[in-house]
Chain A
Amino acid sequence: MAAIWAIGEIADGQPTKLTLELATLARTLAANSGGEARTVLVGAGASAAGPAAAAYGPDVLAVEVDGGLGDRPAAAVIAPRVAELVAQRKPDFLLIGASNDGKDVCGLLLGLTDLPLLANGSGVAWGDGAPRVEMSTFGGKLVTHSTFAGTRGMVIVRPASVSAEAASAPGVVETVEVSVGAELPAVKVTGSVEESGAAAPIEEARIIVGAGRGIGSPDGLKVIEDLAAALGGAVGATRAVVDSGWVPYGQQIGQTGKIVKPSLYVACGISGAIQHKVGVQTAGTIVAINRDPDAPIAEFAELFVVGDLFEIVPRLTAALRARKSGSA
């Protein structure tokens, strides 16, 4: 009989996709454990965002935050309120999303509540009266299943670990008043800058085309983008490409970037060094296009096209377009 809370995030007045995934997961775990689940939303507009989250099953605890804290980073506002709620209602397990804000909230909660933590979860199941968290460690060499030594804990859950599924019976939204003893030390947000080229988060993409050093220059990106468009997918890149400034960091795939799990990953001009491998090795199907048949990516790709990507990729794009328009 465990109480499982999904700690959600609000963006543009709505719960994020990751929040809905966590809500679904909490609902499933509660059902399997004979316990109950909640989705916690903290922030300005939490109540308004509540129904959208409640559609995914668990009742929502919506904590409004007054405008006075508007100059602080979100996690600094969310964490003390969640900690206060946790102290009052004593849930057993918290599920927190592995977004930047989510990880901040989790880290702050670790300091505030001292709850045990399992980070980098790629799946959570219920077994033997406890959550069973799947994690990939040591650069992907090992897949472990872990649990808590005690009866309580927090789990950081990666995006796309579960698919968000609306519930047959939505939960109710409960607006909760929470007052905290002390806010966290002051950090002020004094400005905000928008940069062009911000793409949709690639963790959510079903198909990703990766650009490696083989593209040679920022001009080489065009053929990659065209292929991604033809496949209906997103563009990712290796660290070398991002470090060269050709692609934003948010699209970096690998050990120090994003771990992605698309159904299809097309690696163009990517050697497949282990730091990059870590980012894509759980992808469904990996196709590599590279001039060097000796490249390490051959070890984990399913199909390896030996050739100049500037010859192969445009032809592939053209063929895909032709096929789509029915003239193949």
Chain B
Amino acid sequence: MIEFRNFASPGIQFGDAVLQPGTENLILVETAEQSADVLNCLTGLRAPASGSVSVFGRDLGKLSRDERLQVLAKVGIVPQDGGLLAGLPAWKNIVLPRQFQSKHHEAGLGDEFDEAMRFCAAACDPGDEWLRQLPDYLSQYQRRVAAFLRLMLNRPALCIYENIAGNLPGRHKETLLELTRRFHRQQPGRISIYLEFDPGLLAEHWSGTLIRGTPQAQPISTPNPHADASSLRISIAPF
């Protein structure tokens, strides 16, 4: 269960909301920066401007670094740029979180990878050439598909999709949304959150929970929400 209490992230106010297990939820914000801020608050990378948000009953911002990483390892996130590491080919990016969590070779990982590929067959290009390419050579759509495959291998209880349908042609948008919904239904109790800043993308025919942020009087702009090291809490700050 995800619980927002009088929650506000910079520039946008949400108030109270509870996301129940098994639900699909759409959080509407106004800009990409606000969407990145909400994601940062949800994952404990930054504190909310006011109020609190708890994930599975725990406020990630108040957990120790290691405890937070343990929780995040069970959360699947598809950032809008895919969040892939530029130095690794797509397939290595997909298996990276699983490989990081395991100390030894996982015999079943290959089968799970194949199963995930079959699940996403409609979304993937024929052949596996794209899997061997570095993220910089992939299209925005392929990067999101790779991030979705990475999420699938994690089998998360909470899935967060940041602007997953944004800037995609209609066919790709529908394919990706269909995949995320099918994946949502695979596991009872799974919570899916779609963070969107374009109301036209999903809100029109949305049947799940809709949380719409209301703008605050003085929004605080974030110049580049991705160029940060907030996650790297090696405190070299005084130096």
Q: Are chains A and B native binding partners rather than an unrelated pairing?
A: no
Chain A residues within 8 Å of B, Cβ to Cβ: none
Chain B residues within 8 Å of A, Cβ to Cβ: none
